[in-house]
Amino acid sequence: MKLLAGNSNHTLAQAVSDHLDVPLTKAQVKRFADNEVWVTIDENVRGEDVFVIQSTSYPANDNLMELLICIDALKRASAKRITAVMPYFGYARQDRKTGGRTPISAKLVANLITRAGADRVLTMDLHSGQIQGFFDIPTDNLLAAPLMAQDIKENYEKSSELMIVSPDVGGVVRALALASRLNADLAIVDKRRSGPGKSEVANIIGDVAGRRLIMFDDIADSAGTLCSAAQSLMDAGAKEVSAYVTHGVLSGAAVERVKNSVLKELVITDSIGQPDHIEGVKKIRQVTCAGLIGEAIRRIANEESVSKLFD
């Protein structure tokens, strides 16, 4: 196999490379003076099984174009199979029509990746499972729950006080999977959205008084919902509240919001390359998903089952 890295998260790509003991393919992914993407593959990839590692995180459009152009370059270089490895799938929150005359951008992105020439997609914790059906090519959605469960076992003492919380009704299945792995109880925060990125807590389903709570979600963007839910849980009598989130988008004032919140800590994966400003923030901690992604790549290359990773 061959691994090709875009510019979105070179640190994660290198970690996956180290895990597989497969060097990154020599390539140039640069910009023209007018910011057009320019890609040159500096190795022979004819007949190869190539995995392009590229999250479509901020700047989402630039990173998406890099991915599409890398796929096109590989297709024209006669690669046998091209897998788009997207640890974070951007535009996933736009997965349905939320009103009149609105797009389904996740479907559009799926079409772009397919038409560019990708033969399959590997991603992690899609915002909603039905996005897999937007692709007409095989799509593997890795689950971060085993990774998070292992970290919780290592950092939180097992006790009857531990409780997993879904920060909204839509994330119940995700939170329940984590709670089952930890043999812990589940609570749900019922939040109501007043607009994109805006929400307020309406009810808390479950008795959280005196419990050590861990919220589990797929995306923390502005972190406003996460922090307001944590405050509501503390007001309801929780002993402490932590949060585990797969994709730390952390845009705008999110980092400051987490620092000033009642959260004990926010744990994120390295699916998105984080800017330097989160370094030194004691409340934010990263766990690597390189081993999980690397093992999935190895299994795909060897035509083995990927779902066995989560049994």
Binding-site residues, in ranges, read: 34-36, 93-94, 127, 168, 193, 217, 221-225
Structural domain span for residue 186:
145-288
Q: What is the pLDDT of residue 170?
A: 85
Convert 2-25 to b/e letters by CB count within 10 Å (16 or more is b).
bbbbbebbeebbbbbbebbebebb
Measured CA to CA, the distance from residue 135 to residue 121 in angstroms comes to 9
> What letter represents residue 44's amino acid?
N
Q: Total domain count for the chain?
A: 2
Binding-site residues for Mg(2+), in ranges, read: 127, 168
| Cα-Cα end-to-end distance for the chain | 26
Span 236-289, pLDDT tens digits: 999 999 999 999 999 999 999 999 999 999 999 999 998 777 888 999 999 999
Residue 26: exposed, middle, or buried by beta-carbon count in 10 A (0-12, 13-18, 19+)?
exposed
Same domain, residue pair 214 and 129: no
Same domain, residue pair 84 and 195: no
Tell me if residue 191 is catalytic: yes
195 strand-pairing partners = 198
Same domain, residue pair 56 and 114: yes
CATH code at 276?
A: 3.40.50.2020
Residue 89 has pLDDT above 90, yes or no: yes
List 97, 191, 239, 282, catalytic entry: 191
Binding-site residues for ATP, in ranges, read: 34-36, 93-94
Same domain, residue pair 150 and 281: yes
Span 126-185, pLDDT tens digits: 999 899 999 999 999 999 999 999 999 999 988 889 999 999 888 999 999 999 999 999
Round the average pLDDT of the chain to a whole number and report it. 94
Same domain, residue pair 125 and 33: yes
Q: What is the pLDDT of residue 32?
A: 96
Same domain, residue pair 103 and 205: no
pTM for the full model? 0.94
Binding-site residues for D-ribose 5-phosphate, in ranges, read: 193, 217, 221-225
Same domain, residue pair 100 and 15: yes
Tell me which of 26 and 193 has the higher pLDDT.
Answer: 26
The answer to whether the beta carbons of residues 107 and 134 sit under 8 Å apart is yes
Q: What is the pLDDT of residue 198?
A: 59
Q: What is the pLDDT of residue 113?
A: 98
